Amino acid sequence: MPGSRFAGSLLICALLAAPAGAAPHPGNQGQSWADIAKLPPINGVYETARLPNAPKDGQRDLKPEFTPKAAAELAAYQAEKRQDTDAANCLPPGMPGIMSQPYPIQVLVTPGEITIIQEAYMQVRHVHTDGRDHPADPDLTFNGDSIGHWEGDTLVVDTVGLAPQAVLAQGVTHSKAEHIVERYRLSQPDLLEVKTRIEDPGVLAKPWEFTARYARHKDWSLAEYICEQNNRNSVDASGKAGINLDLKK
Amino acid sequence: MTARLTGACAALALALAAGAAAPALAHHSFAMFDFQAEKTLTGTVVQFDWTNPHTFIWLESPTGAAGAMERWGLEGMSPNYLGRRGWSKTTLNPGDKITVTIHPLKDGAKGGTYLKVTLANGKEMLNFN
């Protein structure tokens, strides 16, 4: 029927003209194994690099600057002089802390997804590179919802949907608006540089930016890490740390 | 060794004070250990836990009254960390005579975090390296 054909054409035109929620990114996005072979080879096992000129804490080259409200919350937390954090009870830190543990990570590039496995706490980050957008109302999780795309030789990973337990900074409550953008690039053949920018307008006075570097170990593979296997450390609700020294606990 | 560890702890303290998201040392803080004190124990290995998140050396040492044997629980880095730095699950075995340098627990309990183990053959194994 001419009428329905007209309506169909209108629909197609509307779809073409609509501002795309997830505009396709130009260039090679690694949608097939053949395309992945042409991208920078970031597959591998890496360890946080302690370079001679690295800052003392290993990688954070700038401290976060907080809004007055968040700074007051942090000051109150520090006044409590808690001896430890929930990590002592084996709770993983979530993003961004899971990216700076003293254990290796593994990057796996597959068509439509880049998987970043952290040996510490055996965590997995799924970075969707199939062109999808974030869910409109994502469930809040420790590692968040991540989508990625390539801009030339740089992998850009965008993360939202972080649970309250995902530590932005110990003693500070982040908001649902926390937004992390990481830019991964091989700055040397076996050195993966990750520039991270974190926004959370009610909490961070300005975006928190830092650069981490990961050295590739071609002869390493990840090992098992079950934190509950023999965890003798603990922290109670008041922040008091404990250690279980019974041989047969 | 001590200087290096003190440096690591200073960095940790700094990171915690600054509210940084992730201290350089994972899993738990070292607040319960006295990093100003070092204690050397000589004794016999009862058991070596090659487990996550920490290795543990269980040691019988004559630290009690009149040299009575006492059992110590000594925490170290994980097998994942140590295993990439020269250690293995058979580095220590029950019955081994060893000397261990530790930072003791502040509360006086018979425990601590080990820094260095000297094996019967004189070989030194470091926890943080």
B72-125: pLDDT as tens digits: 999 999 999 999 999 999 999 999 999 999 999 999 999 999 999 999 999 999
DSSP per position, A22-89? TPPPSS----SHHHHTTS----EEEEE---TTS-TTSS--S---B-HHHHHHHHHHHHTT-S--GGGG
pLDDT attached to residue A18: 40
B29-66: pLDDT as tens digits: 888 899 999 999 999 999 999 999 999 999 999 999 99
Cis check: omega of the bond before A26, within 30 degrees of 0: no
Q: How many Å apart are CA A110 and CA A29, to the nearest integer?
A: 11
Residues of B in contact with A80 (CB under 8 A): none
Q: How many Å apart are CA A244 and CA B11, to the nearest integer?
A: 26
Predicted complex ipTM:
0.80
Mean pLDDT of B15-19: 34
Per-residue pLDDT for B68 more than 90?
yes
Q: Do B103 and B38 contact (CB within 8 A), yes or no?
A: yes
Which among A63, A93, A241 has the least Cβ separation from residue B31? A241
Q: Determine whether the interchain pair A245/B73 forms a contact, defined as Cβ–Cβ distance below 8 Å.
A: yes
DSSP per position, B15-66? HHHTT-SS-SS-S---TTB-TT--EEEEEEEEEEE--SS-EEEEEEE--SGG
**pLDDT, averaged across chain A:** 88
Distance of CA A238 to the CA centre of its chain: 29
Q: Is A6 helix (H, G, I), strand (E, B) or coil?
A: helix
B49 in contact with A at a CB cutoff of 8 Å?
A: yes
Q: Determine whether the interchain pair B53/A233 forms a contact, defined as Cβ–Cβ distance below 8 Å.
A: yes
| CA distance to partner chain B, nearest, from residue A177 (Å) | 17
Q: Is B13 helix (H, G, I), strand (E, B) or coil?
A: helix
Q: Determine whether the interchain pair B25/A102 forms a contact, defined as Cβ–Cβ distance below 8 Å.
A: yes
B56 in contact with A at a CB cutoff of 8 Å?
A: yes
Which among A170, A224, A233 has the least Cβ separation from residue B16? A170
A203-227: pLDDT as tens digits: 999 999 988 899 999 999 999 999 9
Q: Is B91 helix (H, G, I), strand (E, B) or coil?
A: coil
Q: How many Å apart are CA A59 and CA B20, to the nearest integer?
A: 11
Residues of B in contact with A71 (CB under 8 A): none
Q: How many Å apart are CA B10 and CA A151, to the nearest integer?
A: 39
Mean pLDDT of A187-198: 94
Find the angle CA(B16)-CA(A59)-CA(B128) to the nearest 5 degrees. 70
Which among A63, A245, A247 has the least Cβ separation from residue B20? A63
B70-79: pLDDT as tens digits: 999 999 999 9
Per-residue pLDDT for A171 more than 90?
yes
| CA distance to partner chain A, nearest, from residue B15 (Å) | 7
Angstrom distances, CA of residue A68 to CA of A60, A173, A205:
22, 13, 8
Per-residue pLDDT for A19 more than 80?
no
Helix or strand holding residue B83 (H, E): helix B79-83
B69 in contact with A at a CB cutoff of 8 Å?
A: no
